[in-house]
C-alpha cells in the first residue's frame, strides 16, 4: 500500500496534476493539505472518477485538509479533541481546518492491515514574536499529547501523522541555516524544533529521512527568487509513523519531479510504501 502526503497549495488550481500523480505513481491513499476550498466547492468528482473515496475538512478559502483512499476509508474525524482555536485582531477564535483523520487500508491487497492516518497542516507561526507562533506551539502540544497517549495505550497501533509540519527539525533541512538563525526566521527556532522532536520522543518515526538523508533533500521551495533551480529549499513535510507501522515500511521517498513544470505546487509529495 502506498500512502502519499502532499501540500497542493490549492486543490482546484492543481486538480489535473493531482489526478495525474495518483495514476502515474499508483497511489492508494493521499493525505492532502491546503486544499483552499470549502466542502461545497471541493472537487469531489476528481477522486470519484479515479475510484477513490474522499473526505474533506474545509470551512473557508484558506487551509483545508483531505484524505483520499481507494482501499477503504472509515472512522472519519475532523479535527482532534481540544484542537486550539485562533482569532487575531479581535476576531472570535475559530477551529481552523487543519486536521482530519481516518482509517484506511481495510480493503488493501496483500494482507496489509489498516492504518490510522491523519492529514495535518500545522500552523505556520509567521514570526517568532507573532501570536500565531504561540498558537502553533499549543496546537502541536495538544496533538502530541493525543499521539503519545494513543501510543502508550496501544504500542502496536498502526498510526501515521502525515502532512506539512512547517518545521525544519535539523540544520540540514534548510538551504542556509546561518541565514535563518541570523535573520530570526521561523521553522528552525528551538521551540518549534522541540515541539517536533516531542513526537519522536513519544515513539513516532520519520520513515523517510533514513532512506533519503540530507543535506539538500527538501520538500518545499518558494515560488520567488528562483528558489527551486537554485536549490534553496526546506524539508518541512513528513510522515511520522508509529513503531509498528514503521517496521512495515518497504520504501519511502520525496517525489521531487512534481515540483517541476507549469502549475506546480511549491511542495513535493512524500510517499511511503508499506509491505
Reported as a pLDDT band with limits 50, 70 and 90, residue 61 is confident
* Of the candidate ranges 22-31, 37-46, 83-92, 168-177, the one whose mean pLDDT is the lowest: 83-92
In DSSP notation, 53-114 reads EEEEE--SSS--EEEEESS-EEEEEES-TTPPPB--TTPPPB--S-EEEEEE-TT-STTPPP
Cell of 203: 515513539
Q: Is 26 annotated as a binding residue?
A: no
Residue 246 in this model has a pLDDT that exceeds 80: yes
Q: Is 129 annotated as a binding residue?
A: no
CB atoms within 10 A of CB 181: 13
> 3-class SS at 242?
coil
121 classed as catalytic: yes
52 classed as catalytic: no
The mean per-residue pLDDT over the stretch 107-132 comes to 91
The mean per-residue pLDDT over the stretch 183-209 comes to 98
The mean per-residue pLDDT over the stretch 96-116 comes to 90
- Phi first, then psi: give them for residue 19, nearest 5 degrees: -60, -45
28, 52, 121, 135: the catalytic one is 121
28, 164, 173, 206: the catalytic one is 164
Q: How are beta strands 2-7 and 29-33 bridged, if at all?
A: parallel
CB 36 within 8 A of CB 60: no
Reported as a pLDDT band with limits 50, 70 and 90, residue 120 is very high
User: How distant is the alpha carbon of residue 246 from its chain centre?
Assistant: 17
Q: For 213-230, what is each residue's pLDDT tens digit?
A: 999 999 999 999 999 999
Q: In what order do the strands lie in the sheet with 270-274?
A: 53-57, 65-69, 29-33, 2-7, 270-274, 249-254
Nearest to 34 by CA among 13, 49, 16, 17: 13
Q: Is 164 annotated as a binding residue?
A: yes
Q: For 9-51, what is each residue's pLDDT tens digit?
A: 999 999 999 999 999 999 999 999 999 999 999 999 999 999 9
Distance CA 272, CA 250 (A): 8
pLDDT for 134 equals 96
Residue bearing cell 482509517: 103
The CA-CA-CA angle for residues 227, 231, 234, to 5°, reads 80
Q: Is 266 annotated as a binding residue?
A: yes
> What pTM, to 2 d.p., does this model score?
0.96
% of the chain with per-residue pLDDT over 70: 98
Distance CA 198, CA 142 (A): 11
Q: Is 34 annotated as a binding residue?
A: yes
Question: How many CA atoms, within 13 angstroms, populate the side-chain half-sphere of residue 138?
Answer: 11
218 classed as catalytic: no
Distance CA 30, CA 34 (A): 13
> 3-class SS at 241?
strand
Residue 109 in this model has a pLDDT that exceeds 70: no
Q: What is the CATH topology of the domain spanning 2-274?
A: Deoxyribonuclease I; Chain A (3.60.10)
Q: How are beta strands 99-104 and 65-69 bridged, if at all?
A: unpaired
Amino acid at each position: 500500500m502506498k500512502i502519499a502526503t502532499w501540500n497542493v497549495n490549492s486543490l482546484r488550481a492543481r486538480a489535473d496534476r493531482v489526478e495525474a500523480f495518483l495514476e502515474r505513481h499508483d497511489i492508494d491513499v493521499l493525505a492532502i493539505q491546503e486544499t483552499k476550498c470549502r466542502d461545497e466547492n471541493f472537487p469531489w468528482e476528481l477522486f470519484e472518477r479515479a475510484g477513490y473515496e474522499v473526505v474533506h475538512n474545509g470551512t473557508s478559502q484558506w487551509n483545508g485538509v483531505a484524505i483520499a483512499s481507494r482501499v477503504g476509508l472509515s472512522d472519519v474525524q475532523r479535527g482532534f479533541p481540544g484542537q486550539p482555536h485562533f482569532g487575531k485582531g479581535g476576531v472570535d477564535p475559530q477551529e481552523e481546518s487543519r486536521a482530519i483523520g481516518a482509517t484506511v487500508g481495510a480493503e488493501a491487497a496483500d494482507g496489509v492491515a489498516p492504518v490510522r492516518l491523519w492529514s495535518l497542516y500545522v500552523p505556520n507561526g509567521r514570526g517568532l514574536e507573532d501570536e500565531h507562533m504561540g498558537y502553533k506551539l499549543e496546537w502541536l502540544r495538544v496533538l502530541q499529547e493525543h499521539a503519545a497517549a494513543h501510543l502508550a495505550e496501544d504500542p502496536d497501533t498502526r498510526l501515521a501523522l502525515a502532512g506539512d509540519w512547517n518545521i525544519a527539525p535539523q540544520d540540514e533541512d534548510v538551504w542556509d541555516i546561518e541565514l535563518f538563525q541570523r535573520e530570526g526566521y521561523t521553522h528552525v527556532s528551538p521551540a518549534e524544533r522541540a515541539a517536533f522532536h516531542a513526537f519522536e520522543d513519544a515513539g513516532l518515526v520519520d520513515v523517510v529521512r533514513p532512506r533519503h538523508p540530507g543535506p539538500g533533500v527538501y520538500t518545499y521551495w518558494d515560488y520567488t527568487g528562483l528558489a527551486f533551480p537554485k536549490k534553496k529549499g526546506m524539508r518541512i513535510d513528513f510522515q511520522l509513523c508509529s513503531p509498528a507501522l514503521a517496521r512495515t515500511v518497504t520504501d519511502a521517498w520525496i517525489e521531487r519531479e512534481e515540483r517541476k513544470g507549469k502549475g506546480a505546487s511549491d511542495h513535493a509529495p512524500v510517499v511511503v510504501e508499506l509491505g
